[in-house]
Amino acid sequence: MRAIEITKPGGPEVLALCERPRPAPMHEEILIGIEAAGVNRPDALQRAGAYDPPKGASDLPGLEAAGEVVAVGAGVHRWQVGDRVCALLPGGGYAEYATTHQDHALRVPKGLSMLQAAALPETFFTVWSTVFMRGRLRAGETFLVHGGSSGIGTVAIQLARALGARVFTTAGNDEKCALCERLGAEVAINYKTQDYVKEIKRLTDGKGVDLILDMVGGSYISRNIRTLAMDGRLVMIAFLDGPKAELNFAHIMMKRLEVTGATLRPQSDQSKAEIAAALRDRVWPMLDTGQIAPVMDRVFPLEDAAKAHARIESAGHMGKIVLTLG
């Protein structure tokens, strides 16, 4: 099969088209003939040598894909050959075929193309598990998501709004802010021209927000603490500005705050299956009706994976970047 491999740690130019053996599904696994694969920041981290695959996973990048089930392993009962699925992968999505656990796949929602379906798993699994399971966001609460025009951000805005929260976000220019507000953010704050701490205090009558989803880290960590309301929660999922910060823990104690974080890829098969089950019941019906939808940025052919990585690292994208396998 054709695939994209990481020839050595480095920039986008180290991604190269190659030939690899077609994988075979193991117990409770399905083999997907991939039509499209999502591109995510963890792929770029892996390419740079900063995010090793879990033990036993493919060394090829790619954590999500959509296509047709072409073979099933022993013990598979959820899917049959010919089913159209999108799936969370342990790796190997930048290829014509990839395997994954049967419980980590979901049907392609009604009305969505394979390109759109490939943009769903990584972001929807991440947002549901961090915002609603770990962060416990409830209807009527206030929610701030940083990077609102990113793949994660566009999903978080839509889901939080659809489930009854007041949503605020930050983004890097007026065009991105306008997109966030069209998706359901009450206010999108341009972090390059506005102080989001002051703006959130103003918008919430000085209370702050109940939950923050942050992928920036660095200087944002202490600012997030100041932005949270009493009994607020901060969930960290990435550190684009670095993982270290100086904190005054008295603020955490006095406001009874929770600071937590999570990564998706290392979690157990069972944990990912539980997230998939929740998405199947709570979120996929909204995708079927068009109440929410993936926001698409650009589509690149598989052989242009390096261009796709350059695009995601430029921070110019709005929504998801996808590779197509034709």
Q: Whose CA is closest to 146, among 258, 232, 227?
A: 227
Tell me what the mean pLDDT of segment 307-318 comes to: 95
Domain boundary among 243, 261, 279: 261
Pair 216, 253 in one domain: yes
CB atoms within 10 A of CB 291: 13
Do residues 142 and 207 both lie within one domain? yes
Provide DSSP, 197-212: HHHHHHHTTT--EEEE
Number of independent structural domains in the chain: 2
Residues 68 and 141 in one domain: no
Tens-place pLDDT, residues 154-167: 999 999 999 999 99
What pTM did the predictor assign? 0.96
φ/ψ bin of 44: left (φ > 0), alpha (ψ from -120 to 50), beta (otherwise): alpha
Phi, psi of 152 (to 5 degrees): -60, -45
Same domain, 17 and 32: yes
The dihedrals phi and psi of 270, each to the nearest 5 degrees, come to -65, -45
Distance in angstroms (rounded) separating the CA atoms of residues 167 and 187: 7
CA pair distance 35, 16, nearest whole angstrom: 19
H/E stretch holding 322: strand 320-324
Query: Do both 141 and 249 map to the same domain?
Result: yes
First to last CA, the chain: 13
On whether both 44 and 135 belong to a single domain, the answer is: no
Last residue of a domain, one of 237, 261, 285: 261
Q: Which residues of 151-184 are buried (b: 16+ CB within 10 A; e: fewer)?
A: bbbbbbbbbbbebebbbbbbbbeeebbebbbebb
By three-state DSSP, how is residue 309 classified? helix
Do the Cβ atoms of 88 and 64 come closer than 8 Å?
yes
User: pLDDT per residue over 88-103, tens digit each?
Assistant: 999 999 999 999 999 9
The answer to whether the beta carbons of residues 152 and 180 sit under 8 Å apart is no
| Predicted pLDDT of residue 53 | 93
- Shared-domain flag, residues 161 and 269: no
CA distance 81 to 258: 45
Asked whether residue 319 falls in the same domain as residue 232, the answer is no
Q: Which domain holds residue 31?
A: 2-120+265-324
Of the pLDDT bands very low, low, confident and very high (cuts 50, 70, 90), residue 315 is confident
DSSP 140: T
**Residue 226: which CATH number?**
3.40.50.720
Describe the chain by its helix, strand, coil percentages, rounded to 5. 35, 25, 40
Looking at 261, 286, 309, the residue that finishes a domain is 261
> What does the mean pLDDT of the chain come to?
97
Considering the domain architecture, whether residues 155 and 257 belong to the same structural domain is answered as yes
Instruction: Return left, alpha or beta for 120; rule: phi > 0 is left, psi -120 to 50 is alpha, else beta.
Output: alpha
The pLDDT, as a whole number, for residue 179 is 98
Q: What pLDDT, on a 0 to 100 scale, did the predictor assign at position 103?
A: 98
Whether 209 and 270 map to the same domain: the answer is: no
Distance, CA of 51 to CA of 140 (rounded, Å):
37
pLDDT of amino acid 301: 98
Cβ pair 27, 101 in contact under 8 A = no
Query: What is the spatial distance between Cα 195 and Cα 192, in angstroms, rounded to a whole number?
Result: 8
CA distance 226 to 300: 41
Give the other-Cβ count within 10 Å of 11's Cβ. Answer: 13
- Tell me: pLDDT of 4 over 80: yes
CB 196 within 8 A of CB 170: yes
Q: How far apart are CA 307 and CA 313, in angstroms?
A: 10
Cα dist. 138→116, 213, 237 in Å?
Answer: 27, 14, 20
Question: Which pLDDT score is estimated for 267?
Answer: 94
Do residue 37 and residue 108 come from a single domain? yes
Residue 302 sits in the same domain as residue 286? yes
Question: What is the DSSP secondary-structure string of 222-265?
Answer: HHHHHHEEEEEEEEE---TT-S-----HHHHHHTT-EEEE--ST
pLDDT score of 314: 92
For the chain, percent of residues with pLDDT exceeding 70: 100
pLDDT at 326: 76
CATH number at residue 34: 3.90.180.10
